[in-house]
Structure 1
Amino acid sequence: MSQQGDRPATTDDWWGRLYDESARDTGPAGTPDDTIDDRFDSAADTLGGGDDVPSTRSYGHAVDAIAVDDDEDDAGDDEDEGVGSASRPPAWWESPGGRPVTRTPAPAPEPAPEPSVPSPAPVAPAPLTPRPRAPWEPPPAAFDPTDPAADPTTPPAPAVPRDPRAADPRPPAPVPPPPPSAPAARISHVGDSPPTYEAEPTALPAADAEELDQLVADTVLDGARYGTYTLRAASLRGDSARYRGEPRRDALLTARFGAGPGALVLVAVATGARATEGAHLSAADACRWIGGAVGRSHSRLAEDIRAGRRGDLKSGLHRLTDRTYGKLRARAAELGRDPEEYTASLRCLLLSADPDCRTRVFFGVGGGGLFRLRDGAWQDLEPLVPEPSEIRGAPVVGYGSVPTGARAATEQTPDGDRLTMDLEITKAPGPLVEEPVPPPPEPFRFRASVARPGDTLLLTSVGLAEPLRGVPALGGELAARWADGEPPGLATYLADVALRAKGYADDRTAVGVWEA
């Protein structure tokens, strides 16, 4: 391989090692004329060099590729690159007087030089083969085929730090729906200010070790359902009595007599006289005695209610009420007390257990209230009777009064004097009255009405009747609570009855009847 010609003695040793003819060719060919030029031409043809790859065969140089340009191009190259300048002495491989050429240093020893190839057009990256998950790695998230970002073959995008001042490009996290609102808490009082006393009991009444049967509970609650109605009854001590440790003056009795459709339900409410000793005892006696009288006559009373005999009911219940008050007066005499001190207001309801009977009967004596809630409005059903102070009339004949009218024989003198003619009729002596005659008892009250579906009848003692009439907000609140017509449970009914109003601190007893 002596095709390179003579070379100076100062040639580097690597050149001799590379082109020493004694060295064995690393890639000998099957033909004896296998030269570097042949291999270069073969590589150029394989890579498609064609005319763009200069041939080394024309210039007799087999080591480096020499770029040959026109004279105009040489000048431009010299100006830009600073090579091939006329002030440079010719190199040893340039022939004297010959054409200057530009020579590129040979690269490191390679089996074959790789010519420059144009960059191919960008193509889509090949799908990535999923890598098996290591045992310590968490399982991948569920794949959503509709989410392009969830494609496991797509390489993750590089993390870009987000400016904290910029708005978050991510969609906001879904806000969970608010929990269902709790029902509004029921108010414990009506009016602009709360009542003076506390709502819960404070002091217990004084007890006698020998008369423990005379103690009464702070609250009594009862209920039932017969025919087409539901009954609710509650009696609770007032705020004033709870604070002072006084017993509840209201008494409540609920009783059923008989069975089946002919059964009769009695609810009695009594209130002892205010500011009297043993007021709770007189109220309990009134309820017990009227209950006994009704129980002994319940068959006749139930028949009259189902038949609608209003007149018979009124007269019969009037007699039973008189007997009850007669026993109260007798009991007062036994205790050595005035009848006015040992008495009570008494109000009662009679309800038939027959589903076909909707007649409701009310009777009693004394203060209290009878109301009906119909179509969302309260109606006061209290029978109108004159008060004792409003009763007017002549004194009863036979008790020292002067007869008038046809029974009196009078004569008038010319001077205008009037004389009573003595008919010489013997008069029976009048009763010996050493003390003033007591005022007559309060009038007897009676009412019978036919209930309609959806009605609510409310019988109350004085402690609830007065605020219902004097505080419209109380009636409005109860009407709103009972507007749906469904009877409340016992605990709810007790809370409704206990709804307070400032200025009204007496005992409260209420009997409610809800018509289906």
Structure 2
Amino acid sequence: MNGEDLHGSYVAAERQVPVSPGDSAAPFGGPSHKGTAVEETASFPAATTPTAPPAPQSTEGVVPSCEPTIELQRGVPAHVGTRPPTYPSHPLRRPSLRDDDKFAALSPVVLLDGAQIERLTVRAASVRGDSHSWEGSCRQDAMVVTRIGPPEAEMLLLAVADGVGSARYSHIGSDRISQVAAMHLDREAETIHAALWGRDASELRALGRTAVAFAAAELRNQWAASSRHRSRPYADADYATTLHVLLIPTDPGIRDRVLFSVGDGGLFVLRDGHWENGDTDDGEDLLDTRTEALPHAYRSVKATLLRTVPGEVILLGTDGITNPLTQKDPKFARHLADAWGGPEVPSLSDFLWQAQTRAKSYDDDRTVICVWEEES
């Protein structure tokens, strides 16, 4: 059927729908009764004495309609600079189940999450980059938003991981390391909480390294067994990924937070309208983490203590967001500072749209988690 035939069929269908009893077209394609004896001899009920209109009902307790009065459409994501990036902004090709990588084929283009825990509000988004969309490859970033620890030592755990682009299974590495590391950190939650209370940086560093090392060892064993099953050699480099985990006590009396990190990406804090790098060196002689990746670099976990106050916004992200934040042209940083530094926390859909703000030359996967703390 061509476009004209299709259009004509819709028009014909519309002409058959009766608008009033006097229409020439009957419903359901039945015969018309216009002008027949049935219609001409139709009787009407006898007139009756009008009754008083019913008393108006009270509107107290009535729930107003949730139907929107204006349809809002955001359109394509905003961009900074004079021209938008060359790549299309909408999702393109994706892997197939026939490509022998089910994880990649079933991975969604976008992840969106959020939470409100005590006075903390979280918004999180992970979006496939324009370059991966153009190539038809999957999103290699991963993220986790969860709570760990018992009620008396509860912490909000936020994690982002960025699979190394050249690694064959880095999308699996990022997804699994962020989840398994969260489980191992949960086992040490009470000890970590006590170390945060005491601001014990050396203890926190040791706890973070131990948890990440156990997570890496667990996954190495699983991946090595899988490789043997498929009769191919196992290599750490096939699953290479960065990892950043931020722990925030839900107790507002504890103002310190700890960041465990391996590799690029990191943490920023929005203070007085400006983004400040919160992923500072802890002073220990460590390997350059910008060149490190898990599961190989489990000894290179960096622990950073930071202190924030209500009203500041914490941003944890992969380099898809942290790189443009630090570019020489500050338009991107100002745009997100204006979007996320206002008096209201954005809705999930608003946050996703804002997180997709585009900038030329920055086409990698982008994962960003923001935390707002309500002022008392």
Q: Same fold (TM over 0.5)?
A: yes
Residue of structure 2 equivalent to 1:479: 337
**Preserved CA contact (<8 Å) 2:320 2:364:** yes
Q: Structure 2 counterpart of 1:368, which letter?
A: G
- The match for 1:359 is 256
* Partner of residue 462, structure 1: 319
Q: Which residue of 1 aligns with 2:138?
A: 247
CA contact (8 A) 2:163 2:174 kept: yes
Given candidates 371, 378, 392, the residue that maps to 2:275 is 378
Counterpart in the other structure of 2:127:
236
Deviation per residue, 1:439-496 (Å, 9 max, x gap) = 9778322111221121011111011111111142100111122232432111111111
Q: What one-letter code is carried by the residue in structure 2 that aligns with 1:283? A: S
2-side partners of 1:234 and 1:290: how far apart? 20
Alignment match, 2:88: 198
Contact 2:201/2:303 (<8 A) preserved: no
Conservation of the 8 A alpha-carbon contact between 2:319 and 2:366? yes
Matches for 1:98-497 after TM superposition, within 5 Å:
188-208=78-98, 212=102, 215-258=106-149, 260-331=151-222, 333-334=224-225, 335=227, 336-384=233-281, 388=287, 443-470=300-327, 471-497=329-355
Cα distance change, pair 200–263 in 1 and its aligned pair in 2 (3 A): same
- Contact 1:350–1:361 (Cα < 8 Å) also in 2: yes
Q: Which amino acid aligns with 1:201?
A: P
Instruction: Kindly provide the CA deviation profile for residues 275-317 of structure 1, in whole angstroms up to 9, marking residues without a partner as x.
Output: 2222211111211220120122223223333443333212111
Contact 2:208 2:301 in 1 (8 A): no
CA distance in 2, matches of 1:251, 1:222: 12
The alpha carbon displacement at 1:329 in A equals 4.3
Mapped to 1, the partners of 2:94 and 2:123 lie a distance apart of: 26
Q: Which amino acid aligns with 1:488?
A: P
Cα distance, 1:257 vs structure 2: 2.4
Structure 1 residues 337-391: Cα deviation after superposition (integer angstroms, max 9, x where no partner):
322232210000112122322322111101102111101111112223778579x
Alignment RMSD (CA, Å): 2.9
Q: Is the 8 A contact 1:328 1:339 kept in 2?
A: no
Residue 508 (structure 1) aligned with residue 361 (structure 2):
no
User: Which amino acid in 2 is paired with 1:475?
Assistant: A
Q: Aligned partners of 2:352, 2:307: CA distance in 1, in Å?
A: 26
Q: Secondary structure at the match of 1:484?
A: coil
Asked whether the 8 Å contact 2:213–2:298 carries over to 1, the reply is no
Q: Distance in 1 between matches of 2:127 and 2:279?
A: 23
| Structure with the greater alpha carbon radius of gyration | 1
Partner amino acid, structure 2, of 1:454: G
Going by fraction, where is helix more abundant, 1 or 2? 2
Distance change (3 Å), C-alpha of 1:329 and 1:195: same
Q: Distance in 2 between matches of 1:333 and 1:187?
A: 41
Q: What's the CA shift for 1:328?
A: 4.5
Aligned to 1:46: none
Local SS of the residue matching 1:503: coil
Q: 1:498: which partner in 2? A: 356
- The question of whether the paired residues in 1 share the 8 Å contact of 2:103 and 2:172 is answered with no
- Report the Cα distance in structure 1 between the residues aligned to 2:160 and 2:278, rounded to whole angstroms: 17
Match of 1:401 in 2: none
Q: How many aligned residue pairs are there?
A: 287
CA change 1:209–1:275 in 2 (3 A) is closer
- In structure 2, the residue matched to 1:37 is none
**Structure 1: how far apart are the matches of 2:150 and 2:210?**
25
Secondary structure in structure 1 of the residue aligned to 2:246: strand
Distance 1:378 1:272 in 2: 25
C-alpha contact 1:227 1:356 (8 A) present in aligned 2: no
Distance change >3 Å, CA 441–CA 354, structure 1 → 2? closer
| 8 Å CA contact retained: 1:260, 1:354 | no
- Secondary structure in structure 2 of the residue aligned to 1:322: helix
C-alpha change, 1:267 and 1:187, in structure 2 (3 Å) is closer
Native 8 Å contact 2:212 2:298 kept in 1: no
CA contact (8 A) 2:188 2:207 kept: no
Task: Tell me if structure 2 keeps the 8 A contact 1:270–1:344.
Answer: yes
The one-letter amino acid of 1:369's match is G
Distance 1:322 1:183 in 2: 46
Counterparts of 1:56-95 in structure 2, within 5 Å, are none
Higher relative contact order (CA 8 A, sep 6+): 2
